[in-house]
Chains A and B, each alone.
Chain A
Amino acid sequence: MGVMKRMSGILQAKTNKLLDKAEDPRESLDLSYQKQLESLQKVRRSVADVTTAKKRIELQATQLQSQADKLQNQAKAALTQGNEDLAREALARRGALAEQLADLKTQHDQVSAQEQKLIDTAQKLQTQVDSFRTKKETMKATYTAAEAQTKIGEAVSGISESMSDAGMSMQRAQDKIDGMQARAGAMDELLASGALTDLTNPVDDIQAQLDKASTTTQVDAELAALKAELGTGTAAPAPELGAAETTPATEDSPS
């Protein structure tokens, strides 16, 4: 059997579950309408869930991005100090974060696509439900009992099929989000409990090294200045005071 026929059977089976077999076909119109309103509510809630999932990913991306920016700046600072190794380290860590960010971007795109689809589904369903509300009253008023049996039956199965379709779309979105939520949860834990801050703590290591380096340079300079002032230290005679001050890095060559 072809895929379209089998899919039709699957959708039919789902739709049958939605259908209440009312004795009076006119009554089934009202029952069906109630179900439609419930379906619409569910789709709306589903849209909200998807939007929440999207926001969460956006928040995580923002956090990771600011860490990446920080590392970038630290790499620059390290280079300014002439510490290429430290700059390399900062860039390497930034690279690791960039991978995570790319992953989040992919997830974000997928969630956005799901969100848009569900919004479309909700809109379409809303139009159908509105139209059904007015049509069902016309049907009740105009059809004879015999006509009602077939026409109403058809209308009810038709719209119920749309509900089933919407239900499948929601399930699909939910499945996708569930997978992402698990990953997002793991990421949140990483961000909170430090495993990812293993990437960010070292950021502070890098900062500490940068700070230390600049302090050391300053101390060296001051030390050199003091030595010169006191005329002690190595055999540097007083007339060379000025030279020692401007080139603090080349003080004290070992004998």
Chain B
Amino acid sequence: MIVRILGEGQYTVPDDQRSDLEKLDDAIADAVDGGDEAAFGDALAALTAAVRSAGVALADDAFAPSDLVVPFSDATLDETKALLAEHGESAGSDDR
């Protein structure tokens, strides 16, 4: 699968890493929901590190859409919250 870290680039990550990444992703979601800035920073750092170490950077001349997208590695909690909220309706409720 292809994972993009915003502002950084895309990585090809083996599919069997998916559940590991999702566990780290859950920690981010929990931090966002709980408004815990420190936990958010730690969880985001852990996720970006995992993507970088498990994945191989996609060549600049390879064009493929991503399966998963990780926030900017230096994103703040507020920024991420705002982004998720701004697109909350369109991203969440595509059940028309």
Contact = CB atoms under 8 A, between A and B. Distances in A.
* A-B complex is real: yes
A155 B65 CA distance: 8
Interface residues of B, number: 34
B46 interface: no
Interface string A8-19: 111111010000
Contacts of B62: 158
A165 B4 contact: yes
A9 B90 contact: yes
Contact of B61 (A1, A121, A127, A157): A127
26 contacts: A2-B22, A3-B25, A3-B32, A3-B80, A3-B84, A4-B21, A4-B22, A4-B68, A4-B70, A6-B92, A7-B69, A7-B71, A8-B69, A10-B83, A11-B6, A13-B91, A121-B7, A127-B60, A128-B61, A132-B63, A155-B63, A156-B63, A158-B64, A158-B65, A161-B65, A165-B4
A168 B7 contact: yes
B18 to A, nearest CB: 10
B9 interface: yes
Contact of B60 (A5, A124, A155): A124
B66 interface: yes
Contacts of B96: none
Contacts of A10: 69, 83-84, 87, 91
A66 interface: no
A4 B69 contact: yes
Nearest to B94: A9
Contact of B63 (A5, A117, A159): A159
Interface string A147-174: 0000000111111011001001100100
Contacts of A161: 4, 65-66
Given A8-B66, A161-B65, 13 more contacts: A2-B29, A3-B71, A7-B70, A8-B69, A10-B84, A11-B69, A12-B65, A124-B9, A132-B61, A135-B61, A156-B63, A157-B65, A165-B6
B95 interface: no
A240 to B, nearest CB: 78
A154 to B, nearest CB: 6
A7 B6 contact: yes
B35 to A, nearest CB: 14
A203 B39 CA distance: 48
A106 interface: no
Contacts of B87: 6, 9-10, 13
